[in-house]
Amino acid sequence: MIRAAPPPVFEDAAPDEDPARRSRRVFAGDLLVFRRLPAMARLTEHLNTRLCAALNDPDPETAEQRLDPAAFRSGIGAWRTALATDPLVRATWRETMETLGYRADSLFVDRLNGRSAAVRPAWRGRRGSIVPVHRDTWGSGIAMQVNWWAPIRPVSADRTMVLWPHLFAVPVENDSGTWSLETLRARTRAGHPDGYPLLPSVTRPVPDEDAVPVLIDPGDLLMFAGAHLHASRATDTERARFSLDTRSVWRADLDAGRGAPMVDAAGGEVQWAWFESLETGETGATLSPPPERPPAGSGLEGRRRN
Ligand SMILES: [Fe+2]
């Protein structure tokens, strides 16, 4: 079988590039890496310090060998909460975004997620970040959603995030048409979320040998379209993985109708409410594109907006 040449992956990006040009590249599938931004380096170091404190261990990658599953999961839970609520974390993330040219009053952000992928299932828990193959846009329905990912501790090819760049604009079978955030929330409220997936995912395996691992260093930051196909990889049998991820929507992308191709998202919901203004905390529910100006080709036309 003749295969197309693989697209270039992981391009070092300049923080002072015009953000609109950067958006066009990201929505065409480019994977941009910002190396050692000062604010990001400080944020990563801060999160690493808090992680070691939460686990009371100087080597989080192997801490599960010294902690029982409940103690490990409890420490990770405390770290995740601290990360999501620490004013210094939010301020440093804002500084990072401003370094890249995004004014806080034009950027809508999701929460900052601390992720851990322990070696053994009992240490992972439900939120232990062995995420199946998916596009974020299957759940959000937002073509101009951007994802940000950064390692807090060193990663390797068998403990990191992986992407399928060549499937960026190729439809793959998935359950976005039947998965429901409302169902997940209802089951969580009722106390029995187990058994219902946290997100829509592929319903037919994609070739693992085509997956490209993200091999960047703590202090680096990866920017990619929410429409990229990606997953966790946790096949290291000795060491855990720790990372930071979040998502954003830039109002200028919405206004300009920029977005990634939505080639196989079948969900009917658009989750603007996942996002809030980085400046004011105003809900992103106000972000719905004007009806007279739907983003051309974004896949949003005709969708229910909430
Ligand atoms: Fe994701």
How much is the pLDDT for 306?
A: 31
Separation of alpha carbons 230 and 233, rounded Å: 10
How much is the pLDDT for 94?
A: 97
CA–centroid distance, residue 236 to ligand 1 (Å):
20
CA–centroid distance, residue 129 to ligand 1 (Å):
10
Closest CA to 284 of 246, 249, 245, 247: 249
How much is the pLDDT for 2?
A: 52
CA–centroid distance, residue 141 to ligand 1 (Å):
13
CA–centroid distance, residue 72 to ligand 1 (Å):
23
CA–centroid distance, residue 201 to ligand 1 (Å):
10
How much is the pLDDT for 190?
A: 84
CA–centroid distance, residue 131 to ligand 1 (Å):
8
CA–centroid distance, residue 292 to ligand 1 (Å):
30
Q: How many angstroms separate the first and last alpha carbons of the chain?
A: 45
CA–centroid distance, residue 148 to ligand 1 (Å):
10
The whole-angstrom distance between residue 7's C-alpha and the CA centroid of its chain comes to 21
Separation of alpha carbons 237 and 256, rounded Å: 46
CA–centroid distance, residue 291 to ligand 1 (Å):
28
User: b or e along 113-142 (b: 16 or more beta carbons within 10 Å of the residue's beta carbon)?
Assistant: bbbbbbbeeebbbeebbebebbbbbbbbbb
CATH class of the domain comprising 11-285: mainly beta
How much is the pLDDT for 196?
A: 84
How much is the pLDDT for 108?
A: 96
Edge-first strand listing for the sheet containing 230-234: 212-213, 159-163, 230-234
Closest CA to 233 of 202, 211, 205, 210: 211
Separation of alpha carbons 102 and 21, rounded Å: 13
In the chain, where the domains are located: 11-285
CB contact at 8 A, 134 and 201: yes
CA–centroid distance, residue 71 to ligand 1 (Å):
27
Q: How many CA atoms lie within 13 A of 205 on its CB side?
A: 4
CA–centroid distance, residue 1 to ligand 1 (Å):
30
Q: 279, exposed or middle or buried, with CB in 10 Å at 0-12, 13-18, 19+?
A: middle
Closest CA to 140 of 286, 273, 296, 276: 273
Looking at the DSSP bridge assignments, the partners of residue 116 are: 242
pTM for the predicted model, two decimal places: 0.90
CA–centroid distance, residue 162 to ligand 1 (Å):
10
CA–centroid distance, residue 37 to ligand 1 (Å):
23
Per-residue pLDDT of the chain (306 residues; tens, 9 = 90+): 555 555 558 999 999 999 999 999 999 999 999 999 999 999 999 999 999 999 999 999 999 999 999 999 999 999 999 988 899 999 999 999 999 999 999 999 999 999 999 999 889 976 665 899 999 999 999 999 999 999 999 999 999 999 999 999 999 999 999 998 888 888 888 887 777 888 899 999 999 999 999 999 999 999 999 999 999 999 999 999 999 999 999 999 999 999 999 999 997 788 999 999 999 988 888 777 644 444 445 444 433 333
CB contact at 8 A, 51 and 41: no
DSSP state of 221: E
Closest CA to 90 of 220, 222, 281: 281
CA–centroid distance, residue 178 to ligand 1 (Å):
18
CA–centroid distance, residue 212 to ligand 1 (Å):
15
DSSP state of 153: S
CB contact at 8 A, 19 and 34: no
